Chain A
């Protein structure tokens, strides 16, 4: 998958490690894992069944669900709760997965995007596990299956480290390693508009729950729009 580096996984090995620890922490805190693969529905099912019905007897069963059919965004919006996990197996140009990934922060979901080919934009998901391999080899020849098998195996290794399973508090070094940390800096928080009115007000969903905000600065948004909220006001609209 990354033959030039002399290894099979290349940098994906490290990405898998951080994603697995994050997943184990979310599961330990009660997360459900929502799995989607619009182009290859059987991958969403395979991913979910690995976690629900482990192949190794004695490993704990974890809540994972394949989300299939029509409108992925509408479905995820209604079934998911803040703190859940969203894992997609999809190309970077898969429109429904892209739309769901953009909304994941507003819904409070931790997102993992598995794919191959052109990479999604930086920051498109919390964890991007991207293979450097042919699409047929990845989708049908065991490439994606290897990635989520490893995700399952490593997640269960993390459960053997109970001291590391608490989710780092906002402001902890481990959480704030980037230049910008939206949870503890002055950045706006992402929100999805639920309803508008009365007047220049709207009810929005953020990772913290449902909030009432002022929309004077952005005009009247539409339900489903993504906005950045700062100090109780929508400061800009984000293309969703």
Chain B
């Protein structure tokens, strides 16, 4: 991989490397540095969106009080974040359970729609079947450009759901499509750091809704 004359410049790609101690030290330092970046991005994002998060939690709590259901969606790691967010509402670590469902959860429905009408419609078609005007749609996409997420927001917006989007990078289409009532863009180019901060935002959204629901005690 390296020539004899330049090999000393690249000790890390040397296949003769035998001592793992310097690699382990580098890995530990790198892990801490990334964790610090993650923590700073979370803090900066939550700070930047404080007002918007308060608006969203007020609106979500009002809709839940009027019988709303929450639908969540996303792809890949964002699908699992969507599932976690729904689980937070239905099986909360504390507080009151609220009706929520991940549109990724049912593999029969997901594959039926993907196979028959196209993967870009797997979430929007479920919203057509399930949603009512007062409901809430929360979609996750680190690029902001996932076609099925954008299509789902289009359908949700037409059907007068509250639409909340969690995006990353520059927000992509989610930020510009006009179908997302509240779009929270995590300004980072790292998919991993974006997801970690989206989860922190999601937890704050849930806790905010819980706090309002608890204080009203109307269910």
Contacts and interface: CB of A to CB of B under 8 A. Distances in A.
B28 A16 contact: yes
| Interface range, A side | 35 or more
Nearest to B191: A55
Contacts, number: 135
A150 B196 CA distance: 11
Contact of B81 (A46, A53, A149): A46
| Interface range, B side | 35 or more
Interface string A157-180: 110111110000000001000000
B32 A13 contact: yes
B51 to A, nearest CB: 20
A7 B32 contact: yes
Contacts of B88: 140
- Decide if the interface of chain B is mainly helix, strand, loop or mixed: helix
B3 interface: no
Contacts of A142: 38, 42, 195-200, 203
A17 B27 CA distance: 5
Given A146-B196, A153-B34, A163-B14, A136 B28 contact: no
Interface in A70-106: none
Nearest to A18: B24
Contacts of B108: none
B27 A53 contact: no
B29 interface: yes
A20 B27 contact: yes
Interface of B: 12-18, 20, 23-32, 34-36, 38-39, 42, 76-77, 79-81, 83-85, 87-88, 93-94, 191-192, 195-200, 202-204, 206-207
